[in-house]
Structure 1
Amino acid sequence: MLPIRRVLILLIPFLASVAAHKEPKTPEEIEVQRALQAAAYHCAPAVEQFTAARKRSWAQKVLAGRPSLPGFDELFASETYADLPGSASDAEQTVMGCSPLQETRIQNNTCVLTPVVTEGPYYHQAGHPVRQNIAELQPGLLLLLDIGVIDVETCKPLPNVLVDIWQANATGFYAGHPVPHPHLVGEKPQVGGKRSGLLSAFPRTIEEETFLRGAWPTDANGVAQFTTIFPGYYTGRATHVHTKVFPKWTVLPNRTFTSDHLAHVGQFFFDDEINLRIDEMHPYSENPIRHTYGRTRNWRDSLNIFEDSHGPEGQYNPVFKLDLLGGVISQGLIGYITMGINASASYDNRWKG
């Protein structure tokens, strides 16, 4: 049996041939997926410690004399994830007196490892701002995202890689894409097949819109944090957040970026139970398809994207682990997830359709 690192090195030449949202079919592609899956098992203990430390450090920050919810800048200050001494009573503490503080228990399905899902039609090749707060005054439920990145070859946090994310707003629209093509107004969703429930992609008609889009580099601890709102849903798709990871990039004068080294394409999801609860909150309750086509549950996600995100043998977990920021859900949520990537992989930074 070859060591995992050796298997990954041997398979790197094949990684570039695995297109986004392409089911592994050839023996080489299947072996790539299985090797990365083995890396997930191999890295699980390290990721457990990684994520538990992130949660503990954040919670200790809140417990250290701050009776109220910290502001965005305080919560995501550079020292938030600095090493802090633990205590035996941590597990008995509560965050703001309401939410139990517990170390994350990460099983062997921790990592979102393989770029097997489509980036979708709403990514902007140019113009994604480099920023942590991507909400841009969009109304919705406060959502703080804590996204860790590890190197599957070393099982160690991966600093200084750019995590790029984008999502729909509370009523299911992406920045720059408010309306369908004129000849497709009134189009009905696809019935049956892998595209069941989908409409044709809306064109980009407002070039300057950038809400709910942004990228930020991981810090020395391999963590990128974002302030956003909980995403809404649209026909045929489960609620999700898109992501790309770039090991190398260049910041442009207008505070956007460019890169020719894409190492990961993926999508994150949320538990259906949380999705259904948030559906009742304003402005999510104003989704224009709520009383017609309604939301698509994870297990019915079109193009099999939710299923593909679990990997060919179902061993990955693309669902955020959510904690309340306060005593009730309306005070906001913080979501944790860890991605394992092979920083040596390189993919075309363009939508495959």
Structure 2
Amino acid sequence: MLSLCLLLLLHLSGFGTAHPGSHDETAYFRSLVSSRSVHEARQKLARCSDHIKRKGLDARAATRRAAILDSYRGISHSGAGPKSSRSSTSQAVLSSSENPPCLLTPEATIGPFWVDGELIRSNVTDGEPGIPLILDGEFIDIHTCEPVEDVFWEIWNCNATGTYSGVQDFGHHHGDDDSNLDKTYLRGVQRTDKDGAAQFTTVFPGHYPGRATHIHVLAHVGATILPNNTVTGGHVAHIGQLFFDQDLIAAVESTPHYKANNVRITPNINDGIFNDVNSASGYDPILSYTRLGHSLDDGILAWTTMGIDLSASYEAESAASLTDHGGVAHFHGWSAHVPGAREIIVLVVGLGLVFWLARSFRQFCARSA
């Protein structure tokens, strides 16, 4: 009986000390992927695959990706690739229409590390070590199934050891190091062409606690270019995350720069956002890929087609801004949580209840001993 009482007390104490105002990214995402608007968007997107193929967009995408391969490795397309059903150098598999394109889910996955004001550039590596990654993406209007020209496609991902540039994140990556605010590695913006396509040269992302390996993407629609080579205006039509094949992640994580990260890897199947996308959306969020050469160190070409609703407009809360004078942190939203008056009252009442129940259990246990 005494053991049972101790277990109950431990459970109650855990309830009382839980952080009352933490941001549950996965729960927020789950509420959005189940919304009516997202379901309607998926239905429209599912009808686009045949249209893409008939219009020759898929064939042009395959030709574009084959040209990227030629330019980076200069060998025939019959070269060996990694042992994965997603990996091939054939012209057919360099296309995207075999599976429904990826739907970028609105606002759900902005995460705590978006920095507004990033530069328009294709190569975002800034000398960061790791496996080179060429990312080829194309945007499709879910209403017309046509490619979307002049979308400003933005990406950001962590480096080989799980760190993001440009942010000051207390208690996770960077402590109170202000110098990280001025860094821009693995962040950038590109403008899509007439095929709705754009490319980035980045580094294959590492991992950090609680999340599977991923790349963040954001679509600016109707924006204009400023003299300092950034974008302004328009609206954010969609936000999302792109994931990787688990076998590819394992191969990359076995290489020297990634092995330096001792944080436990979270596989796709244990990532709440990945599971909600994969189970509820009817599309595959994992990037298709092939190696740029015979060795993994030569790099990877990955690609996807992303469906967006151009009429949608969402608020994207940034962790920081990159200005002409350096990075500026925003202490709100995803930053360290400061409880409000209501949360403090709830916490005090909750703690009082816990202490009252704990005293009652101690008295009960003492009588029963």
TM-score by length of 2: 0.69
Aligned partner of residue 57 in structure 2, secondary structure? helix
Q: Matches of residues 115-264 of structure 1 in structure 2 within 5 Å?
A: 115=106, 117-126=108-117, 128-177=118-167, 181=170, 184=171, 205-206=178-179, 207-264=181-238
The two structures, once aligned, show a CA RMSD in angstroms of 2.8
* 2:15 maps to 1:41: no
Q: Structure 1: how far apart are the matches of 2:250 and 2:109?
A: 25
- Give the conservation status (yes or no) of the 8 Å contact 1:37–1:113: no
Q: Structure 2: how far apart are the matches of 1:338 and 1:114?
A: 14
Q: Structure 2: how far apart are the matches of 1:202 and 1:151?
A: 41
Match of 1:327 among 284, 290, 294: 294
- Give the conservation status (yes or no) of the 8 Å contact 1:117–1:305: no
Q: 1:177-200: per-residue Cα shift (whole Å, max 9, x none)?
A: 47x63xx4xxxxxxxxxxxxxx59
- The one-letter code matched in structure 2 to 1:263 is A
- The corresponding residue for 1:347 is 314
- The one-letter code matched in structure 2 to 1:34 is H
Larger Rg: 2
- Give the conservation status (yes or no) of the 8 Å contact 2:134–2:302: yes
The 1:157–1:140 alpha-carbon spacing in structure 2 relative to 1, beyond 3 Å, is same
- Give the conservation status (yes or no) of the 8 Å contact 2:163–2:173: no
Q: Could you tell which deviates more after superposition, 257-266 or 338-347?
A: 257-266
Q: Structure 1: how far apart are the matches of 2:131 and 2:261?
A: 14
Match of 1:31 among 25, 30, 36: 36
- The one-letter code matched in structure 2 to 1:279 is E
Q: Structure 1: how far apart are the matches of 2:197 and 2:166?
A: 28
* 2:26 maps to 1:56: no
Q: Structure 1: how far apart are the matches of 2:278 and 2:106?
A: 11
- Give the conservation status (yes or no) of the 8 Å contact 1:135–1:229: yes
4+ residue runs of structure 1 moved beyond 6 angstroms?
Answer: none
Q: Structure 2: how far apart are the matches of 1:337 and 1:253?
A: 31
- Give the conservation status (yes or no) of the 8 Å contact 1:143–1:332: yes
How far residue 168 of structure 1 moved from its aligned partner, in angstroms, is 0.1
- Give the conservation status (yes or no) of the 8 Å contact 1:266–1:309: no
Q: Matches of residues 101-116 of structure 1 in structure 2 within 5 Å?
A: 101-104=90-93, 106-115=97-106
How far residue 95 of structure 1 moved from its aligned partner, in angstroms, is 1.8
* 2:252 maps to 1:272: no
Aligned partner of residue 188 in structure 2, secondary structure? strand
- Give the conservation status (yes or no) of the 8 Å contact 1:40–1:113: no
Q: Could you tell which deviates more after superposition, 343-352 or 146-155?
A: 343-352
- Give the conservation status (yes or no) of the 8 Å contact 1:242–1:268: yes
- Give the conservation status (yes or no) of the 8 Å contact 2:107–2:314: no
TM-score by length of 1: 0.72
**Structure with more helix by fraction:** 2
* 2:266 maps to 1:296: yes
Q: Structure 1: how far apart are the matches of 2:52 and 2:102?
A: 8
Q: 1:109-144: per-residue Cα shift (whole Å, max 9, x none)?
A: 322243263211111123x11101011110111100
How far residue 284 of structure 1 moved from its aligned partner, in angstroms, is 0.6
- The one-letter code matched in structure 2 to 1:299 is I
* 2:273 maps to 1:305: yes
* Structure 1 unmatched ranges of 5 or more: 1-19, 71-92, 185-198
Q: 1:85-111: per-residue Cα shift (whole Å, max 9, x none)?
A: xxxxxxxx9427445323136344322
- Give the conservation status (yes or no) of the 8 Å contact 1:40–1:108: no
The 1:118–1:155 alpha-carbon spacing in structure 2 relative to 1, beyond 3 Å, is same
- Give the conservation status (yes or no) of the 8 Å contact 1:177–1:204: no
- Give the conservation status (yes or no) of the 8 Å contact 1:21–1:116: no
Q: Could you tell which deviates more after superposition, 209-218 or 31-40?
A: 31-40
Count the aligned residue pairs.
282
Q: 1:200-248: per-residue Cα shift (whole Å, max 9, x none)?
A: 9966723211111000010111101000110110011100000110112
Q: Structure 1: how far apart are the matches of 2:66 and 2:32?
A: 44
Amino-acid identity (%): 33
- Give the conservation status (yes or no) of the 8 Å contact 2:155–2:217: yes
How far residue 249 of structure 1 moved from its aligned partner, in angstroms, is 1.4
Q: Structure 2: how far apart are the matches of 1:218 and 1:202?
A: 36
- The corresponding residue for 1:190 is none
Q: Structure 2: how far apart are the matches of 1:338 and 1:129?
A: 23
- Give the conservation status (yes or no) of the 8 Å contact 1:146–1:335: yes
Q: 1:47-86: per-residue Cα shift (whole Å, max 9, x none)?
A: 45534431234325766xx7x726xxxxxxxxxxxxxxxx
